[in-house]
């Protein structure tokens, strides 16, 4: 038996986990969940993940892991090489904090269910795009000095870390709402470096079996 | 020198960190940031935390940690007893996923800056309360079966964990928007148990120097 990932090609959270799996060199079965059709809310998928969110990683023993950041930490604990976190505890806290800017402060407020909710309150399509750009810009403002301080090729240090697993999917979302990155040169450079890495290429939405 | 926590008595994220510090038995200097007056956006605080969010934990060497979940992980790595995470990697992933339901999926979308943004889009005070209740209810629906499965007194197992550090502050927010917990009996029981623990009492908003 192997690992099974419930994923959706463009969704940010499974994209992060695909990067982590690829960095660790782990093979996995890919099961597509069509979030554009809200398939994650169907009974079939709720039986896998009661929270009705992607991703879910099913372990060889059948246990199911949810929440992308928890899965990435699990990956790093169970498959330590190459590491997604540095060795020093304070550095680890910085990497986790940088990741948290994306995983807590940008992505959840731009999630599909939130966009649907604000549109139900009368926000139109342009307003929904401006909403996403606003929170991305706030988060990128927070990340830029941290990447400038800590990055040496990648967002933190000279190898891919948990930050890059979050940052590259966030950059993909930024492109989808036409947010260009000139204002954040260190961030843009780190994204460019990571996107050229084979693991990040393998994890890219357009390289997934359910891409369309 | 000792630890210094930039906190605000009712804010969820510093409340989590106060619980963690109390569970570890660590003393710290308390610096109040009046988020009700948006003091976290003033230049003084931005010099401490450029993201303008509480908490910040300043270490004895002067390094500054941000993002509550990163700080709690740092606490657990540098002060392992008593642990905030179980020993088994899969159990650790479950605890982190349960914590992520709160830290990623409930709290960020109910944060003050988001409520201000939806109100700027015409949502009134009642609508803002309904907005918060909705995302809390969704998250509590996700947590209830996990606590029922994994809890043995506390939300996961028989001692306080990272989950309780997130859950008790979230319960405090639920009370502020009149969301009662009858629909989630396992969750309510875990909250009741944690709230009776001395560390959780010490961390309570009304026991902080800036309570009013």
- Judging contacts by C-beta atoms under 8 Å, the chain B residues touching residue A89 are 74, 77-78
Residue B101 has pLDDT above 70, yes or no: yes
Nearest to A105 by CA among B75, B66, B29: B66
Q: Would the CB atoms of B92 and A73 count as touching at under 8 Å?
A: yes
Q: Would the CB atoms of B65 and A108 count as touching at under 8 Å?
A: no
In chain A (212 residues long), the average pLDDT of successive 10-residue segments reads: 93 98 98 93 92 95 96 98 98 98 97 94 96 97 97 98 98 97 98 98 98 94
CA distances from A123 to A113, A139, B116 (A): 14, 22, 15
Q: Would the CB atoms of A97 and B66 count as touching at under 8 Å?
A: yes
- Judging contacts by C-beta atoms under 8 Å, the chain A residues touching residue B131 are 117
Q: In the predicted model, what is the mean pLDDT of residues B47-73?
A: 95
Q: Would the CB atoms of B96 and A66 count as touching at under 8 Å?
A: no
Q: Residue-wise over B183-192: b if at least 16 C-beta within 10 A, else e?
A: ebebbbbbbe
DSSP reduced 3-state for A164: helix
Residue B5 has pLDDT above 80, yes or no: yes
3-class DSSP string for chain B: CCEEEEECCCCHHHHHHHHHHHHCCCCEEEEECCHHHCHHHCHHHHHHCCCCCCCEEECCCCCEEECHHHHHHHHHHHCCCCCCCCCCHHHHHHHHHHHHHHHHHHCHHHCHHHHHHHHHCCCCHHHHHHHHHHHHHHHHHHHHHHHHHHECCCCCECCCCHHHHHHHHHHHHHHHCCCCCCCCHHHHHHHHHHHCCHHHHHHCHHHCCCCC
Determine the residue among B104, B110, B122, B148 to mutate to test chain A binding: the one whose Cβ has the most chain A Cβ atoms within 10 Å.
Answer: B104
Q: In the predicted model, what is the mean pLDDT of residues B141-152?
A: 97
Q: A56 - beta bridge partners? A: A6, A66
Q: In the predicted model, what is the mean pLDDT of residues B83-101?
A: 98
Q: What percent of chain B has pLDDT over 90?
A: 96
Q: A32 - beta bridge partners? A: A7
What radius of gyration do chain B's Cα atoms show?
17
Distance from the A171 Cα atom to the nearest Cα atom in chain B, whole angstroms: 19
pTM for the full predicted model = 0.97
Q: In the predicted model, what is the mean pLDDT of residues B167-178?
A: 98
Tell me, yes or no, if A69 comes closer than 8 A to chain B by beta carbon: yes
Task: Give residue B149's pLDDT.
Answer: 97
Q: What is the mean pLDDT of chain B?
A: 96
Tell me, yes or no, if A128 comes closer than 8 A to chain B by beta carbon: no
Model confidence at B152, in pLDDT bands (50, 70, 90)?
very high
- Judging contacts by C-beta atoms under 8 Å, the chain B residues touching residue A142 are 50-51
Partner residue facing B96 (CB), from A53, A69, A100: A69
Task: Give residue A118's pLDDT.
Answer: 96
Task: Give residue A1's pLDDT.
Answer: 59
Nearest to A26 by CA among A34, A17, A36, A37: A17
Retrieve residue B158's tokens: 């028989």
Task: Give residue B1's pLDDT.
Answer: 59
- Judging contacts by C-beta atoms under 8 Å, the chain B residues touching residue A166 are none
Distance from the B42 Cα atom to the nearest Cα atom in chain A, whole angstroms: 15
ipTM over 0.95: yes
Partner residue facing A101 (CB), from B51, B96, B142: B51
């Amino acid at each position: 038996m192997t690992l099974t990932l419930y994923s959706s090609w463009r969704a940010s959270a499974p994209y992060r986990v695909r990067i982590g799996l690829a960095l660790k060199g782990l093979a996995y079965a890919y099961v597509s969940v069509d979030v554009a059709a809200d398939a994650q809310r169907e009974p079939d998928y709720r039986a896998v993940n009661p929270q009705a969110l992607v991703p879910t990683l099913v372990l060889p023993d059948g246990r199911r892991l949810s929440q992308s950041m928890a899965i990435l930490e699990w990956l790093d604990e169970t498959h330590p090489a190459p590491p997604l976190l540095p060795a020093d505890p304070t550095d680890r806290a910085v990497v986790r904090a940088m990741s948290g800017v994306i995983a807590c402060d940008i992505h959840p407020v731009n999630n599909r269910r939130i966009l649907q909710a604000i549109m139900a309150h009368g926000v139109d399509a342009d307003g929904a795009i401006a909403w996403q750009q606003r929170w991305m810009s706030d988060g990128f403002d927070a990340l830029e000095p941290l990447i400038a301080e800590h990055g040496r090729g990648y967002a933190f240090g000279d190898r891919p870390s948990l930050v890059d697993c979050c940052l590259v999917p966030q950059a993909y979302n930024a492109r989808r709402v036409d947010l260009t990155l000139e204002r954040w040169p260190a961030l843009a450079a780190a994204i460019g470096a990571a996107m050229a890495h084979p693991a990040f290429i393998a994890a890219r939405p357009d390289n997934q079996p359910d891409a369309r």
